[in-house]
Each structure stands twice: as C-alpha cells, then as structure tokens.
Chains A and B, each alone.
Chain A
Amino acid sequence: MSRIGVFICHCGENISRTVDVERVAAQVGNMPGVAFATDYKYMCSDPGQTLLKKTIQEQKLSHVVVAACSPRMHEKTFRKAVESAGLNPFLCEMANIREHCSWVHENREEATVKAIEIVGMMVERVKKNRVLPAITVPVTKRSLVIGGGIAGIQAALDIADCGHEVILVEREPSIGGHMAQLSETFPTLDCSQCIMTPKMVDVANHPKIKLYTFSEIELVEGYIGNFQVTIKKKARSVDEDTCTGCGVCMTKCPQKKIPNKFDQNIGMRTAIYVPFPQAVPNTPVIDRDNCTWFKSGKCGVCQKVCGPGAVDFEQQDRLIVEAVGAIVVATGFDLYTIDEKPKGSPIKGYGEFGHGKIPDVIDGMTFERLASASGPTGGRILRPSDGKEPKQIVFIQCIGSRAREKGISYCSKVCCMYTAKHTMLYHHKVHDGQAYVFFMDARTPGKSYDEFWRRSIEEEEAVYIRGMVSRLYQKGDKIVVMGSDIAVGVQVEIEADMVVLATAVMPQKGADTLAQKLGISYDKYHFYSEAHAKLRPVECATAGIYLAGACQGPKDIPETVSQASAAAAKVMTLFSKDKMEREPIVARVREAGCVGCFACKKVCAYGAVEEKEIRDRQGNLIKVVAYVNPGVCGGCGTCQATCPSKSVELDGYTDEQIVAMIEAL
C-alpha cells in the first residue's frame, strides 16, 4: 500500500489568492493512498524543502506529489530533494496548480475544485510510478569541429587548449573560410590576414588538433558523448606527409589560367595549386577537372619536378571513422549570387543589377579581394573589365536581404558595416575618386560601429543616398545607375565606373544535407536552429551538437568568435565528466510480447530500435525481437503508441500511469 505525501504550496499568494489551499489539503488528505497532506507558504524555499525531506523520513512516505508551479520550473528541485531523503526521484510528481490554475482563473470556487482534481490526478499517477534507475553513458572526450573558418578555428583552439583532442574537418583545401579572403576588417581596419594567419598556423601546429582538409562528413551515427563520424578525405593527388610545400610544382604547371575561387575568380591559378599563399596546410591539391594529366594522360610535369616525390596521380578518396563525444558545427555562409537562382531557394535572381553580365558590377567579396594587399591586383582598386582605376564608384546595399517579395526577409547584418569599410578603403586608395552608397537605412549597433559608419561620411566623404536603385545599364564604358533619393524626393542618375553590390549572406549550399546527416534542425533558409533563441543560443536541440558562427545566422567576426568560444565552453562542460547521466525516460521492450514486426523501428526518428536475436541453449534462433538502445532513445514514446502488440513501453509514461490519470478525472 502506498503512503503518498502531498505538499500544497501557496507560492506566497500566487496560488493561495485564488485557490483555497487548506481545503485542497483537507480533501486530498482523504484520498486513498494518501498518508499525509499539508500546505506551506513556499515549498521551493529552504525550509519548504526541509519540511519535504523531514516528512518523507518521519512519515515513511513512499511517493510524493508537490502541488505548486509548473514542473518545467521546479520538477528538478523537488526530485533532487526527494532523492536526498532517500527516495527514487521518479517517485515524485508535480501538480501544476499555478500556471495551469491559479493564474488563469479568477473564480475561487472553480479554481479550488480544479486544483483538487489536478492534485487527485497526480496522486493516482504517482501510485503507478516505478523506480527508475539513473542511466549513465560514457563520454568520449574528443570533439569534432565541422568547418575551418574563424568560427571553427576558434572553437578548435579553445577545446584543444583545454587538453582535449579535436578533429577539424574542412571542405576546401585550406582552412580560413571567408575571413581569410577579407582585406581589412571593421571596426578597426586591421588587416584580416595579419590577425587570421597566426591562428591558422596555431591550428596546424597544435598537438591536440587533427586537421582534415579537402574532406567532408559522410555519415554521423551515435548520440551525445558517443558519436561515430565517417569522414571522406578527398584525393588531393599530393601526399601530405611527403610534400614540403616548396611550391616548385605550381611554378611549372602549364595550366595557368584557371579562375581562382578564393580570388572570386578575378585572379588566376594553376591546376596544381594552393588557394592562397598562406594556406594551411600549404600542401597543393590537383584540380583534376583542369589538369592536363587527368584530361589527356600527358604532362605530369609536377610529378617530374617534385623533389620529394609527393605528387601521386593514383591517390583515391579515403573514408576515415573517428569517435567523438561532441560536435561543433561551424560551416559558415555563402553569398547570394544574383546572376543565378540559388539551388533549392525560392529566391528569384536580381537580373536588373547586371551582375554576371556587366563585368564591372561586382559583389562585396570581390571588392575585398581587390582591396587586399595579397589579392590579384596587389591591393589596387582596378576594375575587372579593363584594369582602369574607377573614379566614380557606386555601392548598393541590401541586395537580396530584407526583400520579402524575393524570398529573403532577414537583414544580413554585416553589409552596412562592410560597405562603410569599403568606402574608406576606396578613399584611401583612390584619393581623387568619389564613392556613392544607396542604402535603405544604416544598421550599426555594436561597439564603435556607429562611429565607424559616421566616419565614412564625415571624414572619408562617401555620399550616402537613401533609396533603392531602380535601373542599371551599361553605356559605353560607364554604368548608369538610376535611383531615387527618398530623403529629398529627387531622382538621381550616376555614371559610375564600377558598381559593388552588398549581396545577402546565405547559408552554405548543402547546409540542409549536412543537417540531415547530423539530425539537427534548420530554418526555411537553411540556417541552423539553436535550442532556444535567448537562453540556449549555441546548442542544438539535438544533445551534444553545438553551433558556432554564420551557419546559425548572419554574423560579424566579433560575434562569430564569441559564439565559437561559447560553443567550446559547452563542449568543455560536457567533457568535465567521465560519464554523464541522462534522464531515464526511455522505451523498453517486453520481449515476451514482441512479435518482431519492427513497426517501432520504422517510426523511431533516433534509430534507437535494434534487432535482437533470441536463441535457446543450443543456439537455435527462437525469434528476433526489438531492442531499444537506452543511450540512443530520445524518449518520445512514438514506438509505444505504434506497437500493435503493446510490447514496448516508455518509462515514466506507461499506459498504466496515463490511464490512472484519465480515470481520476
């Protein structure tokens, strides 16, 4: 026979104002199985918890119901208290008589009757609660970081500096991401390469970081603390261990006119190449699509000139499996391309701006490469068509962003600031030039940001025109930009030498495919979703997976770095223990009843249901039944509601418990 204790909280006056708590206690005290019922001013306070613990021991209670606020508020508190008094924490339930009762009803009689029923329901439920032993799973203290931009680099360094191994996987031949492409960075105008490359070198030299470049994630299995990741290391055609990075091969390669993606295709590279001189690792990779050897079986000059004999035309893609306990996703962003409709995106192109058709209409990242001292023009602003210095330059903001009718409603966040930066860089390099900016409004929150923006107008003489461009066309070697200045209400027409478009920041192409491999959620644009917009901004809802940088939404470098360090801190929290406890709300199969139809396996989104063979002593197969891996089970209970033979049961939410509640009403 159960000896249930019921504790009814006044919550100061929050509950007692509308619910007659004494009447609830009196009435509940008479319910079968209830050995003790009382009311108390603040159950969650120290004396309240002491009362609870003392009563459990004095009254030898077998189960506890605390009628107070929402279990989402204090269930953990009371279960802990109950545990410290020697009872299994899952023998304690909360009855929500605040959020679901006293706060939403004014009529005292109605609220009191409802409270009695809610408590009664939980009393019947708790009778059926079973002792649930804690489930502990081991924690593999190695971490995977996907994406080697500044976000991934920062997270990897932070985790590795704490002494834990990191596997860093980057899709491109070098780490660095977009930040490596930037010239100077707002709001301080320090050179991006100068602050970035030391960190890249730190990654390469760190004894705890294992770097896989030119690699992609193939498969992710397992769960928090125990992931199994298959990585595809694409064939580089150059052996990383043998190559000394001397670069002779690149000087001899006859294919010299291949547009370099790193330089936004305005600079050229060879077929065997490193994307940029400071690349990490600085092992070249052969672009097989453009290599003469791979196309015609002739040439092979790089192999002949390579002293250490590192060039290997036979190299194959390799699959590597790594065990990790946590995953940081830092796959960054891509820029919206105007000349083509991004795959799978609902957004129509912006053909009217001539990008892709008029050679001197470029995007912001291309301007970064022009302005970069290590870029294809050595840092001189020269237009792509004829290499002349543009004397009139027009910047257009919000291309793609904040255009609901075209499919993107968000603000790309970094364009206002980098456009201001571009006008300054331009002014520093082309003293007799004039910059114009078409903008909707300037969004510059951030430390020293507004000051930076103002400087571009007040000191660097950029002319800001509030309004959008309506038309843009080539006229001779000029680009005519027509728009309206809505501040003064006039039409403007500028004959520009070059136009720079601040195109929208979008998720990486293929972000959705990676998310599906990881089992994390993403929004309609394919930015990854955090578990809670405010309180859990770096965690995914999927346990053990964390987010850093622009893959979660547009971000500048300071924000990216902060989030990356925060994600690293979350990984460290997980790694601070050898084993972790998980809520023992998992499904369990009653093997005697299981007919092996595996309906449960089909509906389980976690892949927690396995097939288990039952054999007799001679080893003959009797039957195959379902087995739920308690480490993997998410605890949704979908399998239970699906099982035709009622052979799988979710601990904590058994049919018995639920039916008891319904019958109490």
Chain B
Amino acid sequence: MHTDKPKHAFEPKIIAFVCTWCTYAGADLAGTSRMQYPANVRVLKFPCTGRIDPVFILKAFQQGADGVLVSGCHPGDCHYIAGNFHARRRFAAFRKLLEFVGVDLDRLQFSWVSAAEGGKWVEVVTDLTEKVRAMGPMTEFKELALEEQWSGAITTPELKEAYNSI
C-alpha cells in the first residue's frame, strides 16, 4: 500500500495560516475526500484572516518555516462580513515591506480557498511545497532568530574582543 515516493534531499517546512470558515473547512473536505498532498504543511486555525497579524508571518519564518501560506474566504464571502478585506489590504502593504527587506516573495503565498474547494486546497499546498522545495531552505530569518536568542554569555572570540574594546 505504501508507495515508495521519491526521496527528496530537502523537505521544506510550510506553515499555513487559515480561517476556520472557509479554508480550514476546505482542507477538511480534502481529507473527507481522501485527496493526497505533501505532508510538509502545518495548519494554524484562526477565526478569520482578519485576525492574522503580519508579525505571525515573520515569526513563522524565524522559527524555520521555508514557506508561509495565508488563506481565507473569497472576497465577499467572509463569515465576519469584511475581515478578509482588511486582511487583503494589510497583506498587500506587508508584502511590499517584505520585498524591501529582501525576502523572496515566492515563499509567501496568499490564496482564497472556500469550504467547497478541497481540490483547490490540495493544489495550493502542493504547488507551494514544490516551489519552495526547489528554492531550498530559507536561512535569513533563522539566523536572526539565533541572534535574538543570544543568552548574554560572551562565548565567542569576536564577542570577547568587542566587549574588551568598550
């Protein structure tokens, strides 16, 4: 039963931020329909894409995500009337910022997947996984995270030198 899938040298980590009403339900439908897709994605559920703070996306990259997906209801279908419109505007601005900082925008995908679109969920996740796999690991933000976690101990020669020169 277990088909031997081709082994890949690099398995990207994909984090998906989705809304409960549309995309989470769409992903559920992909499950009930027994569709298959790469196991790289981890799903975080929000009531609405309107709740998704761009900081979470940065955090995800810092935590080692190689690709991030944000997905919610189609425009006009928002369960909370207009949350997805606010999200759309917010992320349009945020993408520009990321681009400015030098993040390859191909790692960040936005999509609309409705509760009826199990097939589209599979497509979006598969495409993003394949794309990011081809791009290789995302390193910039991980290094940033390491710096952030610096314990205060002066352990490297560089730090010692810097410390002594103050």
Contacts and interface: CB of A to CB of B under 8 A. Distances in A.
A206 B43 CA distance: 55
Contact of A637 (B2, B50, B59, B90): B50
B79 interface: yes
B31 A650 contact: no
A658 B44 contact: yes
Interface string A121-149: 10000000000000000000000000000
A638 B42 contact: no
Interface stretch (B20-28, B127-135, B150-158): B20-28
Contact of B50 (A641, A663, A665): A641
B15 interface: yes
A178 B56 CA distance: 54
A98 interface: yes
Given A637-B48, A640-B53, A100 B43 contact: yes
A519 B81 contact: yes
Nearest to A634: B80
Given A108-B2, A541-B79, A636-B83, A103 B34 contact: yes
B46 to A, nearest CB: 6
Contact of B86 (A105, A606, A638): A638
Interface in A92-125: 96, 98-101, 103-108, 110-111, 113-114, 117-118, 121
Contact of A636 (B24, B63, B80): B80
A285 B103 CA distance: 69
A642 interface: yes
Contacts of A103: 31-32, 34
Contacts of B50: 603, 636-638, 641
A659 B51 contact: no
B146 interface: no
Contacts of B15: 662, 665
A26 interface: no
A661 interface: yes
A89 interface: no
Interface in B29-55: 30-32, 34-37, 39, 42-48, 50-55
B165 interface: no
A107 B59 contact: no
Nearest to A641: B53
Contacts of A638: 48, 50-51, 80, 82-83, 86-87
Interface in A623-640: 634-638, 640
B66 to A, nearest CB: 12
Interface string B109-146: 00000000000001000000000000000000000000
A565 B88 CA distance: 40
A535 to B, nearest CB: 12
B51 to A, nearest CB: 3
Nearest to B3: A106
A655 interface: yes
Nearest to B16: A100
Contact of B31 (A99, A111, A117, A637): A99
Contacts of B64: 665
A640 B46 CA distance: 12
Nearest to A112: B39
B47 A585 contact: yes
A641 B31 CA distance: 30
Contact of A665 (B32, B65, B78): B65
Nearest to B25: A72
Interface in B67-120: 76-83, 86-87, 90
Chain A binding site: helix, strand, loop or mixed by DSSP? helix
B59 A659 contact: yes
Contact of B28 (A99, A111, A634, A642): A99
Given A107-B39, A108-B2, A519-B81, A99 B32 contact: yes
Given A100-B28, A105-B36, A662-B59, A637 B44 contact: no
Given A118-B42, A606-B81, A635-B47, A641 B28 contact: no
B9 interface: no
Contacts, number: 132
A98 B47 contact: no
A117 B42 contact: yes
B9 to A, nearest CB: 16
Given A637-B46, A637-B51, A641-B53, A114 B39 contact: yes
A104 B51 contact: no
Interface residues of B, number: 50
Nearest to B11: A110
Given A100-B27, A640-B51, A662 B83 contact: no
A110 B2 CA distance: 11
Contact of B37 (A104, A121, A659): A104
B53 A662 contact: no
A107 B53 contact: no
Contacts of B63: 662-663, 665
A561 B60 CA distance: 53
Nearest to A529: B77
Contacts of B80: 605-606, 634-636, 638
A409 interface: no
B1 interface: yes
B56 A662 contact: yes
Contact of B30 (A104, A606, A661, A662): A104
Given A72-B25, A98-B31, A635-B80, A653 B47 contact: yes
A277 to B, nearest CB: 45
Nearest to B17: A658
Contacts of A637: 46-48, 50-51, 83
A384 B48 CA distance: 57
A2 interface: no
A70 interface: yes
Interface in A559-574: none
A42 to B, nearest CB: 18
A429 B118 CA distance: 56
Interface in A474-528: 519, 521
A635 B20 CA distance: 12
A635 to B, nearest CB: 6
B28 A70 contact: yes
Contacts of A653: 46-47, 51
A665 B65 CA distance: 8
B2 A106 contact: yes
Contacts of B83: 605, 636-638
Contacts of A640: 51, 53
A603 B47 contact: no
Contacts of A665: 13, 15, 42, 60, 63-65
14 contacts: A70-B31, A100-B31, A107-B39, A637-B83, A638-B82, A638-B87, A640-B51, A641-B54, A641-B90, A642-B86, A658-B44, A659-B56, A662-B56, A665-B13
The 5 closest A-B pairs by CB, nearest first: A637-B51, A99-B31, A638-B50, A636-B80, A605-B81
Given A70-B31, A653-B51, A655-B55, 8 more contacts: A96-B28, A99-B32, A104-B30, A107-B2, A114-B42, A521-B77, A641-B52, A641-B54
Interface of A: 70-72, 96, 98-101, 103-108, 110-111, 113-114, 117-118, 121, 519, 521, 541, 585, 603, 605-606, 634-638, 640-642, 650, 653, 655, 658-659, 661-663, 665
